[in-house]
């Protein structure tokens, strides 16, 4: 019997286990989270608890090269021989840290590694267009994109799991930079996920800084659960809890 597990680190960080093939996604395991430049005064995240580096990582998968997805302090904890796949900006981060086996992939490209196939999809423009991914295994499939940007070129299909925000986060004059609530109906229609895990806006961390004080929220986990009732199994994951998916 094959197994499919998901483990949430908070923010955009996940460990996905596809029958023993373990994929670490956008990890934030230790240290503060801020963008340099401009620095912590704009926004600074702090974990309440740090995480151990997971054992037996078969692939490091990064959606973006920004620090909330390619977190330098966390990446420095990892064995540099771990294969890495990421957007071109994420590739630059990994290459700069000395990772020995990394590949850049752009939207609409596909790469195979071990037992899985990774299809890159168009993700958030921050400002360059970053990546989402559809990952396919012999028996399982999942989609991940941390900002709620759904590539219209994706062919309709049914996947086992979608990892996506389900609420919108907005800034004055800039609008929504996380579009989970907005994209949810289209995500359901296009990918028909059997299960949806809420991502990006969860976790055991505190945030300070000017930008954080300006962010407004549209939607709730409860609203998402109500909308998805009968359409998809919805999970608002707890940090540090392994979830076994029933396929």
117 within some domain: yes
pLDDT recorded at residue 74: 98
Cα separation of 192 and 206, whole Å?
33
47 within some domain: yes
Tell me the three state secondary structure of residue 203: coil
Number of residues that this document lists for the chain: 247
Pick from 203, 179, 184, 150: nearest CA to 27 = 203
242 within some domain: no
Mean pLDDT by 10 residues, the chain (247 residues): 92 97 98 92 93 97 98 98 98 98 98 97 96 96 98 97 98 93 98 98 93 95 97 96 90
Q: What angle do CA 21, 164, 158 make, to 5 degrees?
A: 70
Pick from 191, 211, 198, 204: nearest CA to 240 = 204
pLDDT recorded at residue 91: 98
Any idea of the CA torsion for 97, 103, 109, 113, to the nearest 10 degrees? -120
Q: Give how many domains the chain has, as a whole number.
A: 1
List residues bridging with 143 in a β-sheet. Answer: 134, 162
247 within some domain: no
206 within some domain: yes
Any idea of the CA torsion for 77, 80, 81, 84, to the nearest 10 degrees? 90
pLDDT recorded at residue 173: 81
Cα separation of 143 and 160, whole Å?
8
pLDDT recorded at residue 2: 77
Go through 219-228 and write b for each residue having 16 or more CB atoms within 10 A of its CB, e for each that does not: beeeebeebb
240 within some domain: no
- Residue 133 makes CB contacts below 8 A (sequence gap 6+) with 61, 63, 118, 119, 120, 121, 143, 144, 145
Go through 40-58 and write b for each residue having 16 or more CB atoms within 10 A of its CB, e for each that does not: eeebbbebeeebeeeeebb
CATH code of the domain covering residue 178: 3.60.15.10
**Checking DSSP bridges between strand 4-10 and strand 13-18, what pairing results, if any?**
antiparallel
Tell me the three state secondary structure of residue 134: strand
188 within some domain: yes
Whole domain around residue 137: which residue ranges?
4-235
pTM: 0.97
pLDDT recorded at residue 174: 86
Strand order in the sheet with 242-244: 102-104, 84-86, 59-62, 21-25, 13-18, 4-10, 242-244
């Amino acid at each position: 019997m094959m197994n499919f597990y998901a483990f949430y680190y908070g923010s955009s960080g996940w460990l996905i286990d596809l029958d023993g093939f373990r994929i670490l996604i956008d990890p934030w395991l230790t240290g503060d989270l801020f963008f340099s430049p401009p620095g912590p005064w704009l926004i600074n995240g702090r974990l309440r608890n740090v995480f151990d580096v997971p054992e037996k990582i078969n692939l490091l998968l990064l959606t973006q090269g920004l620090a909330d997805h390619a977190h330098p302090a966390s990446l420095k904890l990892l064995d540099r021989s771990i294969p890495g796949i990421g957007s071109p900006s994420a590739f630059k981060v990994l290459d700069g840290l000395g990772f020995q086996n990394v590949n850049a992939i752009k939207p609409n490209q596909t790469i195979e590694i071990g037992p899985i196939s990774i299809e890159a999809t168009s993700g958030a423009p921050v400002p360059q267009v970053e990546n989402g991914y559809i990952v396919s295994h012999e028996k399982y499939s999942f989609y991940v994109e941390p900002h709620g940007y759904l590539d219209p070129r994706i062919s309709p299909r049914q996947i086992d799991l979608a990892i996506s925000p389900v609420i919108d986060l907005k800034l004055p004059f800039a609008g929504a930079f996380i579009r989970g609530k907005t994209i949810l109906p289209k995500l359901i229609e296009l990918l028909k996920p059997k299960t949806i895990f809420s991502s990006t806006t969860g976790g055991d961390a505190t945030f300070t800084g000017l930008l954080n004080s300006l962010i407004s929220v549209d939607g709730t986990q409860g609203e998402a659960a109500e909308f998805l009732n009968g359409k998809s199994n919805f999970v608002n994951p707890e940090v540090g809890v392994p979830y076994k998916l029933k396929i």
